[in-house]
Amino acid sequence: MKTVLVSKQGNAKTDILFVGVFKDEKKPGAIKKTEPLFARILEAAAKKGRFSGKSQEVFASFQTSYRRASEVVAIGLGDKKDLKAVTLRKIAGKIIEIASARKASKIRVMADTFLGGALEARDVAAIFTELAGLAAYRFFRYKTKKKDELPKFPETMELVFDDQKALKELKPVVSRAEMIAKSVAYARDLNNEPGNVMNSSRLVEESRSLAKEKGLKCTVLGLPELKKLGMNGLLAVNQGSVTPPALIILEHGEEHKAKGTVCLVGKGVTFDTGGISIKPSKGMEEMKFDKSGAIAVIATLGLLADLKSPLHVVGLAPCVENNVANDPQRPGDIIRMYNGKTVEVVNTDAEGRLILADALSYCEKFKPVAIIDAATLTGLCHYTFGDKACAILGTDQKLIDVIREAGEKTGERCWQLPLWDDYADAIKGNHSDINNTGDGYAGTITATMFLKEFVPAKVPWIHLDIAGTAYTAKNRYDCPKGATGFGVRLFAELLSNWNRENYLSV
C-alpha cells in the first residue's frame, strides 16, 4: 500500500474518507469544513446516542457533500488528552480492516483530525504509514486460491494535512515508516516459512542474498569452523539434524570510536522438536517460530542499511535444528562451551540457551559497547505476558529503561523481570559448572541467569525473551495469524537514536 501526503482534499475521488472524532466533541470543525452534510448527520446521530466518539467506535454514511468520497467513516478516538501511540495504532489498524472489508482501492485519511494527546503530525504520519503495511500483510505463498478470492487491501492511502509547509518535513517520516513496514514483512515472510523450507542452510542463503543487496558484510561459520572454535553448545543441539549448523554474522557500517559497536544476537532454531526430551505433539507446528530472534536480527541489519544508520552493528544468528535423527544429544550429556565453561544438559528442550551462549561469548571478538539478544527462550514467558509484551532482563538499568521507552513508542512493549544473584544457585551443575534447566521455578529468570554466564565481562547486556510476542495464534489489528516480526521496529527505534553516553551506565 502506497502512502501519499496531500495538503488539501481537492476534487480527486476516493472510495472512503476517514475522519477522527474525539469523545463528546460537540462541533467537529474539520469535518464541517470537509464534509458539511456528513457533519450534520453525525451531529444528529450523536444527539440520538448513536455515536459518542469513544475509542474505535465507528459511524459511516454514504451521504456525502461533494461526491469526492463514496463513503465517509468517522472513527472514535476517545478523550483527546489521553490519545497515545498504542491507541492510534489500533485505530489505524481498524481503518485498514474497514477498507479491506469494503474492498476499497483508495482511501483518504484526514490526518489532522487524529492529532491528540502528545502526538504530533510526524507521529500520526508514521503510525498510519507503518500500520498500513503491517495490517495489510498476508502470507499466501502456498495458497492455491485465485487472487480475486484472497483478501483485498487498498492500493493507495492519502494522508491529508492542512499545513502545506509541514508536508516537506513529513516526507522522510513516511519514507522511513515504509522501510520499517517492509522490513517487518520480510521478517514475517522468513519466519512463516515451514521447517522443511527455512532450515539453517536456507537462512544462510537468505542472509548472503540480503548482504549483497544491502551492502552488508556477511560471514558464515559452518560446521568445520564451529568445530575448530569449540562452539560445542551450538554443535550439540544440532547433532540430531541432517542439516549442518551455522553461525551467521552480518555487519553494518564501520567501527565508530565515539558510538562504539553494538552486537545483536538472535536465537535461530529453525524447528524445535525438543530433542530426546520431546515436546507434546499439540502445537508443535508452531515450533517453526523458534527462529524468530535470528530473523529479527537479520531483518534489522537490512533495515539499518536502508536507513543509512551511522552505527557499527554486528548481528549474530546461531542457526540449528533441534531434532532426533542421527546422534542427538542426551539428557545428562556434559558440554564444554566456547568460553570454556561446562554445562550439563538436563533437558534437551532447553536448547536455545546453549546456542545463544556460544554466540554471546563470541561477541567479545567485536569489542562491543553493548550486547542485546532476542530469543523465543521460555514458554513460561509466554504464560506470564501472553502476546502483549516480551520480558526484558539485563545488566544495565539505563539501557533497559531506554529499550522499554522504545517499546512503548513502537508498540513492541517490554516488561522488566529481576536478575538478582539469588537465582544463580538454581543453575549450579552437579557434575559440571552449570546445568541448562534451573530448578523448575522462575524459569524465564533462571534461563537468563544461564546466559549471563557467557556474556563478556563488563559489557552491558540485555536479554529479550520474545516467546509470547514472536507470533500470534489469532488475527490482530496489525498482523494476521502467524509471525509478527517482533523486534525489528524495537531495534530500529533504539538504534536510530543511539547515544552511547545517555543510553549506557558505563
Determine the Cα–Cα distance for residues 379 and 16; give it in Å rounded to an integer.
Answer: 43
**Reduced to 3 states, what is the DSSP secondary structure of residue 158?**
strand
Determine the Cα–Cα distance for residues 451 and 358; give it in Å rounded to an integer.
Answer: 9
- Give Cα 306 distance to the centre of its chain: 17
In order, the DSSP letters of 242-285 are: SSPPEEEEEEES---TTT-EEEEEE-EEEEE--TTSPPPSTTGG
DSSP assignment, residue 147?
G
DSSP assignment, residue 82?
G
- Grid cell listed for 160: 491529508
Catalytic site residue 176? no
Residue linked to cell 545488566: 395
In order, the DSSP letters of 126-150 are: HHHHHHHHHHT----TT--S-GGGS
Q: Name the region of 53 (left: φ>0; alpha: ψ -120 to 50; beta: rest).
A: left
**Reduced to 3 states, what is the DSSP secondary structure of residue 28?**
coil
- Give Cα 85 distance to the centre of its chain: 16
Cβ contact 207:318 at 8 Å: no
Residue type, 20: G
This prediction has a pTM of 0.96
Residues whose CB is less than 8 angstroms from the CB of residue 243 and which lie 6 or more positions away in sequence, other chains included: 199, 200, 201, 270, 321
- Grid cell listed for 257: 570510536
Q: pLDDT for 213-254, tens place per residue? A: 999 999 999 999 999 999 999 999 999 999 999 999 999 999
Q: pLDDT for 53-68, tens place per residue? A: 999 999 999 987 767 8
Element (H, E) at 157: strand 156-160
Residue linked to cell 516467546: 467
pLDDT at 472: 98
Residues whose CB is less than 8 angstroms from the CB of residue 129 and which lie 6 or more positions away in sequence, other chains included: 3, 157, 159, 173, 174, 177, 178, 181
DSSP assignment, residue 438?
T
How many C-beta atoms surround the C-beta of residue 421 within 10 A? Answer: 8
- Grid cell listed for 344: 550439563
Catalytic residue (one of 259, 288, 353, 489): 353
Question: 149 φ, ψ to 5°?
Answer: -95, -10
Cβ contact 117:75 at 8 Å: no
Q: Which CA distances in Å does 383 have to 92, 360, 420, 446?
A: 28, 26, 21, 16
Kindly list the structural domains of the chain, giving each domain's residue range(s) and its CATH number in brackets, ordered by start: 2-184 (3.40.220.10), 193-498 (3.40.630.10)
Element (H, E) at 249: strand 246-252
Determine the Cα–Cα distance for residues 377 and 135; give it in Å rounded to an integer.
Answer: 27
**Reduced to 3 states, what is the DSSP secondary structure of residue 72?**
strand
Output b/e per residue, 231-262; b: 16+ Cβ within 10 A. Answer: bbbbbbbbbbbebbbbbbbbbbbeeeeebbbb
Q: For the chain, which ranges sit under pLDDT 50?
A: none
Cβ contact 476:185 at 8 Å: no
E strand intervals along 177-237 = 217-221
Cβ contact 182:133 at 8 Å: yes
Q: Which CA distances in Å does 289 have to 134, 180, 216, 383?
A: 18, 21, 25, 16
Which spans in 254-371 are helix H?
Answer: 292-306, 352-362
Output b/e per residue, 207-225; b: 16+ Cβ within 10 A. Answer: beebbeebebebebbeeee
Catalytic site residue 489? no
pLDDT at 29: 65
Q: pLDDT for 125-182, tens place per residue? A: 999 999 999 999 999 999 887 776 778 999 999 999 988 888 999 999 999 999 999 9
In order, the DSSP letters of 447-506 are: HHHHHHTTSPTT--EEEEE-TTTSEESS-BTTB-SEE--TTHHHHHHHHHT--HHHH---
Residue linked to cell 543441539: 237
pLDDT at 283: 94
Residue linked to cell 556477511: 218
Cβ contact 41:84 at 8 Å: no
Burial class (CB in 10 A: 0-12, 13-18, 19+), 407: buried
Catalytic residue (one of 279, 336, 404, 476): 279
Number of C-alpha atoms within 13 angstroms, CB side, residue 186? 23
pLDDT at 27: 60
Q: Which CA distances in Å does 184 have to 176, 179, 181, 394, 474?
A: 12, 9, 5, 25, 18
Closest CA to 355 of 394, 326, 321, 391: 321
Give me the count of residues in the chain: 506
pLDDT at 497: 87
Closest CA to 466 of 349, 364, 379, 394: 379
